[in-house]
Amino acid sequence: MIHLNNVSKRFRHPDGGWFDAVRATTLSIAEGEIFGLIGFSGAGKSTLLRLINLLERPEAGAVLVDGQDLTRLSASELRRARQNIGMVFQQFNLLANRTVAENVAFPLEIAGWNRADIALRVAECLEVVGLTDRAEHYPAQLSGGQKQRVGIARALAPRPKVILADEPTSALDPKTTQSVLQCLADINARFGVTIVLVTHEMGVVRAICQRAALLDGGSVVEVMDVKQGEVQALSSAARDMLEAA
């Protein structure tokens, strides 16, 4: 579903030097998979995630999502492709002056859906995340966990094939984290959406990922399988890092 082919990204320091956020990286993520990107802060995991929907444009390499190389698209083609890739954020990034229902409707308005279809789809998505009774509330009236579930409903609304989740539980307490992860796992199971999830917590990877890439210094150290809630690291470098974490 997602193929990153030799992608790299660097940022300019204020002092003029360069910082290699992602070094030439190749990664394949299968359809229907929940894939984790894990590493310490500064390892390049968020940048790698943001390369997948081209919020960051790579200096080199190709980004294939659902068979399409996003780096070759025009601005309007890229906008259409992005409607097929939902995104969930650590800080939720909901629109404060829109109700819950209007937030979930937002990507559908952008995609040009008609009113009646929007209303139906919004109701469905709020049902999926269990927030039907909060439809007319504003984000400021919700708890953190509820806000993130609105974020997930919003990402799910346009029936995307992929959802990118950038530290979706890092602003939440442990109990709320469990319910939000459960919500993501549900969506993956029910609709077959491929989910790529950035986290710095092994617990999150163990809870819902099938595979995870361990990142360090902008490179993938190892792509690990997760079986029965255990992360299977083969290389010693990966094992050392997991011990330290």
Partner 1 sequence: MEAITFAEAWSNLVLLGPEIWQACLETALMLGIGLSAAVLLGGPLGVWLYLAQPGQILANRFVAGLLGWLVNLVRSFPFIILMVSLVPLTRLIVGSTIGPVAAAVPLSFAAIPYFARLVEQTLREVPRGVVEAAEAMGASPLQIVFKVLLREARAGLVNALTILTISFLSYSAVAGVVGGGGIGDLAIRYGYYRFQSEVMLAMVLLLVVVVQIIQLGGNYLAARLDKR
Helix or strand run (H / E) with residue 214: strand 211-216
Q: What is the CA angle 61-202-91, rounded to 5?
A: 70
Stretch that binds partner 1, among 86-94, 118-126, 171-179, 213-221 (CB under 8 A): 86-94
Residue 134 touching partner 1 (CB under 8 A): no
Q: Which two tokens stand for residue 82?
A: 């992005």
Our finding on whether 115 is near partner 1 (CB under 8 A) is no
Q: Is residue 161 a contact residue for partner 1 (CB under 8 A)?
A: no
Per CB under 8 A, 170 contacts partner 1: no
98 binds partner 1 (CB under 8 A): yes
Residue 74 binds partner 1, judged by CB under 8 A:
no
Q: Does 82 bind partner 1 (CB under 8 A)?
A: yes
Q: How many whole angstroms separate alpha carbon 103 and alpha carbon 95?
A: 6
Please choose, from the candidates 178, 172, 15, 16, the residue with its C-alpha nearest in 3D space to the C-alpha of residue 91.
172
- Residue 110 binds partner 1, judged by CB under 8 A: yes
Taking CB under 8 A as the rule, does residue 143 contact partner 1?
no
C-beta of 92 vs 238, nearer to partner 1:
92
Does position 109 interact with partner 1 (CB under 8 A)? The reply is: yes
Nearer to partner 1, 91 or 143 (CB): 91
For partner 1, the binding residue among 30, 95, 189, 234 (CB under 8 A) is 95
How many positions of this chain bind partner 1 (CB under 8 A)? 31
Under rule CB under 8 A, residue 45 binds partner 1 = no
CB 9 within 8 A of CB 56: yes
By C-alpha distance, which of 109, 95, 198 is closest to 150?
Answer: 95
**φ and ψ of 53, to 5 deg:** -110, 15
Strand bridging mode 18-29 / 2-12:
antiparallel
Kindly state the smallest distance separating residue 72's Cβ from partner 1, in Å: 17
Q: Does 71 bind partner 1 (CB under 8 A)?
A: no
Are 193 and 161 a contacting pair, CB within 8 Å? yes
Between CA 52 and CA 226 the distance in angstroms is: 22
Residue 126 beta carbon to partner 1: minimum distance, rounded to whole angstroms? 17
Nearest to 167 by CA among 184, 143, 192, 188: 184
CB 34 within 8 A of CB 56: no
Chain Cα centroid distance, residue 12? 25
237 binds partner 1 (CB under 8 A): no
| Among the residue ranges 1-9, 38-46, 73-81, 216-224, the one whose residues contact partner 1 (CB under 8 A) | 73-81
Regarding 73 and contact with partner 1 (CB under 8 A), the answer is no
Which residues are at the interface with partner 1 (CB under 8 A)? Answer: 53, 55, 76, 78-83, 85-87, 89, 91, 93-98, 106-107, 109-111, 138-140, 154, 158, 164
